[in-house]
A and B are shown apart, each in its own frame.
Chain A
Amino acid sequence: MATTAHIHAHAAPQGFIRKYIFSLDHKVIGIQYYFLALAAVFTGMFLSLLMRIHLIWPTAQIPLIGEIKPETYLSLLTMHGTIMVFFVLTTAPQSGFGNYFLPIQIGAPDMAFPVLNMLSFWTTLLAFVVMIAAFFVTGGAPLHGWTGYAPLSALPNSGPGEQLGADLWITSIAIFCIASLMGALNFITTTLDLRAKGMTLMRMPLTVWSWLITAILGLLAFGVLLSAGILLLLDRNLGTSFYVPLVVVNGQVMGHKGGSPLLWQHLFWFFGHPEVYIAILPGMGVASQLLSTFARKPIFGYRAMVYAIMAIGLLGFMVWGHHMFMSGMSPYSAFAFSLMTMSIGVPSAIKTFNWLGTLWGAKIRLHSPMLFAIGFVSLFVSGGLSGPFLAQPVLDIPLHDTYFVVGHFHLIMGVAAIFGIFGATYYWFPKMFGRMMNESLARVHFIITLVGTYAIFMPMHYLGMAGQTRRYSQFTEVAYQTKLLPVQTFMSYAAFITIGAQLIFLFNLFWSMWKGPKASDNPWEATTLEWTTATPPPHDNFGGHTPVVNHGPYEYNVPGASKDFVMQTDPATATAH
């Protein structure tokens, strides 16, 4: 192995600023990413709270905000989606936990390029600040949705938020792309080059596999979004016509001619669909890690799990057209995209059945991380099953602009990924902060969140089938939509309760950081490398030595072993086989 001493050329910093602010330590950077995502998730959740209030009380006067106008509703919707997708689902599971635990789990002292790592965090923070700034400029935040469809997004006079707010939105996304690319570069190089002796690819924990494949997806996808964003900025500010056809806005002929709005959709979704997997793959890795640890069984079909992650990543690049069935594409193209999309069901089912196989006949330890891992599988199945519906053009066309799609992607990409983040938080908190989180509060948090999210998002499927349109700010004016309002009311109340339950999590997180009982080095009796080192890990992760790996990542209940788990660094003779 070719790691190490010089990677850690940066000595342990002493001053507060170099230790906690401009730190090169991947662990500090991971925590910084985590708290950025935490700030983002509460921002995004607050926006959804405003939307849910507006949907059932359209004329309510909200303190400090006043009445929400229809265009403000669209701004809330846009910013909620954007913040959640980029600054939460992409940031927390990959950049947060990945940064903290990838180097430790492969036995490296740090990331391959620590300075680049620090730069990538600060660039992400800059992107977040630019994004939030869009709320405070003239015209407010954009209203073109997180997908930013042209020509709405390409014409500054197409709506109140489409002036400077939209420029800031695009700039923020572009900055985020660059930050993510720097992060992905680091993840891939680190995984390929800095593994400890004995850490072969097929001994890497599934979390590491999922971070690696996610990084590869990011590497291939974010460059395309960046180029799409540059074209959009040129259309908006320099008069080019990449996306804008001959168009009349408010009776005024715009100067553009000959652009194609579909070009934006192709470029955006070539990024956008892999982005879905960028959000969910790390959650899959975490779920595998947790299910195996708390079921005290090796993960069922480790190899199949690895190949399934790869297959999902590969297929993820071939299905972007299923977001565009409505665009009038050729039925032959639609058929191809439909077929490819449904084929993703195969590796997804392999993963699901392997998770169930891991649980089968196990003596499960139902600690809070495990509850969230099981919740992840539940949400993944519930949200995933509606995927094959939407993969068929003939069903997608009536369902596309309804709440059915909103329910589908929130369950599978939103809440399932969030459950992965929660599971990872409860699981790794002891290692990160040296203390245990409160188990009772965690269970209450789990039960309310699981029931609450199902109560919010399952009815959306039925609303969609009943024809309730998405993105509408009010349903009070159309007779058939009005009849569905009681369901919306039920969902809003479920949302209020679920959002309230997140305060329990927040309290538990911060309270446990200072007041939780001290954690041992390996409180869950897990096997991977992060549990072999001190809690919290020292600056160079392993206190001056490099671990040597002798075992696979999930050796639980090995026949002949003295205890029910074999650490990856245990001597090769630790088992009787």
Chain B
Amino acid sequence: MIGTKEPRINYGGAVTLPPIMGGGGDGSGGGPADFSDRLRRARLGLAVGLTPIIMLFVSLTSAYIVRQGLPTLDENTNRYIHDWLPVNLPWLILILNTCVLLVSSVTMEVSRRAIAREAALAPVRSIPGVSLGEETSFPWLGLTVGLGLMFLFGQWMAWRELAFRGFFLATSPSSSFVYLLTGMHALHLAGGLLALLYASAVALLRKPVESRRVVIDVTSWYWHFMAVLWIYIFALLEFAR
């Protein structure tokens, strides 16, 4: 009934807002399984799912900034003092780690594009007598997993270095936040690694190329988000010491 005249009384049926995200009468409905729908839904789900992760880090950032400016009572002098101790971050390790993560983001993107191309060519490939030539496929996904593990190992090295410099979790509020923020990021990145391993398993199990594409596509967006999140955390810890 889109476009037809509505009754004078508002029955809650007036149509003025355009439908968004594929709902509300913008297609034929039903039909055979359509992987582009599945891909779009998975991407939408991921975008929605990233929101609470952003909220988690927003709230931690807010706590970080509030705590940084908060004076505390010193029991010896009975005066309010600022006890925020700037943490001397292990710069070199973290910069190397950042490079590893950025490179992994690139390999992830190459992997995503490769599978998108493969999915697009799949119908052509299935035509008898059509050959697209021999393609060598580099294990970009495996490389990304390797780089992800290397990043986590690097973070562990950074924590050890921090401990060596005398900054433990409970040493000062600033060091608590350093461990907390980097630890939470590492935890989320480990979740991404699990997704990557799942994507690799899906590839090995010879699932339909479209299925693999959905998994790899959303994982890659999540992976890019993890890289951006890391740069944000690194910048926060470095510039808001």
Contacts and interface: CB of A to CB of B under 8 A. Distances in A.
Nearest to A113: B45
Interface string B188-228: 00000000000000000000000000000000000000000
A258 B81 CA distance: 10
B49 A185 contact: yes
Interface in B130-178: 169-170, 173, 176
Interface in A541-577: 545-546, 548-555, 558-559, 572, 575, 577
Nearest to B73: A246
A223 B55 contact: yes
Contacts, number: 218
A6 B59 contact: no
A202 B16 CA distance: 8
A263 B170 contact: no
A258 B62 CA distance: 17
Nearest to B61: A227
B23 A554 contact: no
A548 B9 CA distance: 22
Contacts of B37: 2-3, 6
Interface residues of B, number: 64
Interface in B29-70: 29-34, 37-38, 40-41, 44-45, 48-49, 51-56, 58-60, 62-63, 66-67, 70
Contact of B24 (A189, A199, A206): A199
Nearest to A297: B9
Interface string B1-16: 1101111111111111
Interface of A is mostly: loop
Contacts of B173: 240-242, 258-259
B240 interface: no
Given A1-B26, A181-B52, A199-B24, A555 B72 contact: no
B40 A222 contact: no
B25 A549 contact: yes
Q: Which of B12, B30, B51 is the most central at the interface, judged by chain A CB atoms within 10 Å of its CB?
A: B12
Nearest to B15: A200
A220 B51 contact: yes
A239 B23 CA distance: 50
Nearest to B83: A258
B180 interface: yes
Interface string B108-148: 00000000000000000000000000000000000000000
A183 B53 CA distance: 15
A239 B179 CA distance: 13
A189 B44 contact: yes
A458 B2 CA distance: 49
B22 A1 contact: yes
11 contacts: A2-B40, A5-B32, A197-B24, A201-B19, A203-B12, A221-B55, A227-B60, A260-B66, A260-B70, A263-B66, A558-B7
Interface of B: 1-2, 4-17, 19-34, 37-38, 40-41, 44-45, 48-49, 51-56, 58-60, 62-63, 66-67, 70, 72-73, 75, 83, 169-170, 173, 176, 180, 184
- For the complex of A and B, list the 9 residue pairs with the smallest distance between their C-beta atoms, beginning with the closest: A552-B13, A302-B12, A195-B23, A223-B55, A223-B52, A258-B72, A6-B33, A239-B170, A552-B11
Given A2-B41, A240-B170, 11 more contacts: A1-B22, A1-B28, A6-B34, A184-B48, A191-B23, A192-B23, A200-B19, A201-B20, A238-B169, A303-B14, A549-B25
